[in-house]
Amino acid sequence: MIVAGADGCRSGWVVCRRDADGSLSLQVVKALAEACEGLSILAVDMPIGLLDVPRPGGRDCEREARALMPGKASSVFSSPCRPALACQTYRDANATSRRLGAGLSAQAFGLATKLRELDAFLRNRPDLAPVFHEAHPELAFARMNGGKPVLSKKKSAEGEAERRRLLIAHGFDVPVFDGAPANDVLDSVAVCRTALLIGQGSATCLGPAGSRDRHGLPMNIWF
């Protein structure tokens, strides 16, 4: 079984691939479509299914994720609703979202470009949709940490070292790679481990089973 994890970075997506023999490799791709070949599972740090009408606290899976991460709940953004995602500026997106029932954070709107890319790809390639699973690196690290959130900041030297130690302890020795910032690399490796757990049938799924948006895309977070 070949699996991978992907995390957005400035130049595209950093992808950690785990081959059937357990070896890891890293690459940066401009579009996730470039990373799908041969994969059984791709866990991606990006919302997949989206609400048409926003709710305070976001999707069910996002509310459940925050409840599992005391002290780190702010790392889980409420994803934009579809009408807000269609806006080109944060001001318009937030106003649209508020008018429909709940405001939108600037951090969540910062995902818009990559979120639009992923959403369009999955809607145009339903044959590949089963490969893609939404994941969250901080949930992945919390699972590696005995269920306790890693509270150190991921961009700090302490946070990087702590996350790297957890990955190594769980069999994911991070390859040397300078093609993307260290925090994005570590996040991609963390969700690669989530992809492996999904493939093995031992991952946890947040949000109601079978929860779908109006385009049939799942609204679940895996870890």
Model confidence over 178-195: pLDDT tens digits?
Answer: 999 999 999 999 999 999
Question: What pLDDT sits at residue 170?
Answer: 98
Question: What pLDDT sits at residue 219?
Answer: 98
Residue type, 94: N
CB atoms within 10 A of CB 2: 16
CA distance linking residue 5 with residue 2, whole number of Å: 11
| The overall pTM is greater than 0.85 | yes
pLDDT tens by residue, 33-76? 999 989 999 999 999 999 999 999 999 999 999 999 999 999 99
- pLDDT confidence band for 89 (50 / 70 / 90): very high
CA distance linking residue 103 with residue 107, whole number of Å: 12
Tokens representing 70 are 């005391």
Share of the chain above pLDDT 90, in %: 98
CA distance linking residue 59 with residue 162, whole number of Å: 30
Question: What pLDDT sits at residue 67?
Answer: 98
